[in-house]
């Protein structure tokens, strides 16, 4: 039987690239996200290209009842999740705290923190029952550092690392690995979403240097997921070569 990975936020960026990487290596894949048209398209592509089993679950991680019923809908095969890639997340806006937009704050906290927790809460008992599993949570360089205007986004990504380290202590008794990957600047739809599809503002984030590609991050996630049973990579911080930290990026000057 193939290994199984459940990827939240597989309709774009890291999640979509990870779905390709794992499927290419003969994992069966559960893909999730809110944009059902993209999920359906990806399901067909993965099945046809890699000849693996794919299950699409169309739900919003912010909605607890949707998360519960999506996980409860898994049949005996799909319950055997080897890896949960808790990836769904977003930056919504960027600006000083005194000008903060409440709806953006709620969205980031509800998605990046509460949504990740809901998935962790619903999926970890399935792993505990099998006495094996691996939870890989996606934080960010913004989970290590802060930058002006990053306030709530940075807070959510710091929270992902705190939750992960604490969950690791709970899960160690059940033979379950918990890891965190923290990418720096990567060109996905992240900045388009953050800047409300303003292509100029989003594009400016990646001008003058080579950012990470979604595939670079997927490669690292695959490496984390395929270590021997006795090895757990707790944390991985991956940045573009040109980026030294959250505020210093070399652009040839």
Closest to ligand NDP by CB, 127 or 218: 218
Question: In 3D, which of 210, 166, 162, 167 has the Cα closest to residue 185?
Answer: 210
Q: How many whole angstroms separate alpha carbon 115 and alpha carbon 8?
A: 10
Residue 123 interacts with ligand 8X3 (CB under 6 A)? no
Q: How many whole angstroms separate alpha carbon 40 and alpha carbon 10?
A: 11
Binding residues for ligand NDP restricted to 86-105, rule: CB under 6 A: 87-90
Q: Which does 138 bind (CB under 5 to 8 A by kind): ligand NDP, ligand 8X3, none?
A: ligand NDP
| Contact assessment for residue 149 and residue 95, using Cβ atoms and an 8 Å cutoff | yes
Q: How many whole angstroms separate alpha carbon 23 and alpha carbon 94?
A: 35
Which phi and psi angles does 58 have, rounded to 5°?
-100, 100
Residue 159 interacts with ligand 8X3 (CB under 6 A)? no
Contact residue for ligand 8X3 among 11, 32, 140, 179 (CB under 6 A): 140
Residue 183 interacts with ligand NDP (CB under 6 A)? yes
Contacts of 106-112 with CB under 8 Å at 24 or more apart are 107/62, 108/152, 108/153, 108/156, 109/152, 109/155, 109/156, 110/62, 111/61, 111/62, 112/153, 112/156, 112/157, 112/159, 112/160
Closest to ligand 8X3 by CB, 17 or 57: 17
Residue 9 interacts with ligand NDP (CB under 6 A)? yes
Residue 92 interacts with ligand 8X3 (CB under 6 A)? no
- Judged by CB under 6 A, which stretch of 12-20, 45-53, 135-143, 158-166 contacts ligand 8X3? 135-143
Residue 249 interacts with ligand NDP (CB under 6 A)? no
Residue 71 interacts with ligand NDP (CB under 6 A)? no
Number of residues that bind ligand 8X3 (CB under 6 A): 8
Mark whether 222 is an active-site residue.
Answer: no
Chain contacts with ligand NDP (rule: CB under 6 A): 8-15, 33-35, 60-62, 87-90, 111, 115, 138, 140, 183, 185-186, 188-190, 193
């Amino acid at each position: 039987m193939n290994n199984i990975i459940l990827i939240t936020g597989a309709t774009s960026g890291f999640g979509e690239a990870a779905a390709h990487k794992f499927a290419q290596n003969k994992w069966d894949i559960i893909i999730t996200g809110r944009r059902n048209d993209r999920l359906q398209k990806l399901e067909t592509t993965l099945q046809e290209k890699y000849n693996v089993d794919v299950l699409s679950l169309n739900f919003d991680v912010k909605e607890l009842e949707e998360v519960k019923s999506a996980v409860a809908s898994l049949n005996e095969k799909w319950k055997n999740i080897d890896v949960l890639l808790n990836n769904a997340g977003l930056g919504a806006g960027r600006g000083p705290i005194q000008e903060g937009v409440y709806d953006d704050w709620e969205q980031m906290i509800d998605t990046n923190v509460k949504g990740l927790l809901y998935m962790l809460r619903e999926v970890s008992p399935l792993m505990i029952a099998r006495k094996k599993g691996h939870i890989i949570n996606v934080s960010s360089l913004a989970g290590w550092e802060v930058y002006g205007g990053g306030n709530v986004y940075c807070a959510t990504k710091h929270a992902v690392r705190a939750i992960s380290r604490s969950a690791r202590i709970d899960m160690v008794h059940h033979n379950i690995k918990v890891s965190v990957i923290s990418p720096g600047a990567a060109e996905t739809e992240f900045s388009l979403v953050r800047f409300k599809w303003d292509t100029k503002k989003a594009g400016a984030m990646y001008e003058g240097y080579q950012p990470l590609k979604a595939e670079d991050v997927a490669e690292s996630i695959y490496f984390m997921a395929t270590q021997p049973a006795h090895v757990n990579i707790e944390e991985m911080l991956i940045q573009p070569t040109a980026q030294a930290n959250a505020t210093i990026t070399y652009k040839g000057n």
